[in-house]
Amino acid sequence: MRENRAFGEMMKAAREWLADRDPVDIAKKTGIAYDEEPKRFSLMSLGREISISYPDYEIDPCINEWHQLVILHYMKLADGTPLTGQWMTMGAVKDGLIRGGDFDRRCEAVIRSRLSQIPEEELARKCRDLGGGEE
């Protein structure tokens, strides 16, 4: 129960950070399309079309809550720097997601360990199936 409350606070904070931001500026800095008529952002994320309403930043369709949080944090932090196509953790981003203890480092180590056991071609195929790309 405590974790759900803490997560809810993080989502609330993420929406508050974006509350006073100009949606056109957010679109410019993130590369996420914004349509002023229905007041909605739209993007592809992990192979799914995502729509984000403005000004409440509700995400449709309902996706994993951590996925939602990462998108909202990106919308807050993006500064217009061109994308490189390289993966990086949110913890590597200046002012990225705040986490407690070394939970994120342990999780990342487990994920890296497990992903390293999958043959490279199979991993690339799975990433493409989720909407990822290769450079």
Q: Which domain holds residue 13?
A: 2-84
pLDDT tens for each residue of 5-53 = 777 888 888 899 999 899 999 999 999 999 999 999 999 888 889 999 9
**Residue 60 and residue 20 share a domain:** yes
**Residue 103 and residue 76 share a domain:** no
Residue 92: both structure tokens together: 């590597």
Asked, for residue 124, whether it belongs to a domain, the answer is yes
**Residue 106 and residue 65 share a domain:** no
**Residue 123 and residue 61 share a domain:** no
Q: Which helix (H) or strand (E) holds 38?
A: none
More confident residue, 71 or 5: 71
CA distance 107 to 100: 12
Residue 34: both structure tokens together: 């914004």
Asked, for residue 92, whether it belongs to a domain, the answer is no
pLDDT tens for each residue of 80-122 = 887 776 776 666 666 655 555 465 667 777 777 888 888 888 8
**Whole-prediction pTM:** 0.67
Please tell me the total count of domains within the chain.
2
Decide: 43 and 98 in contact? Cβ < 8 Å. Answer: no
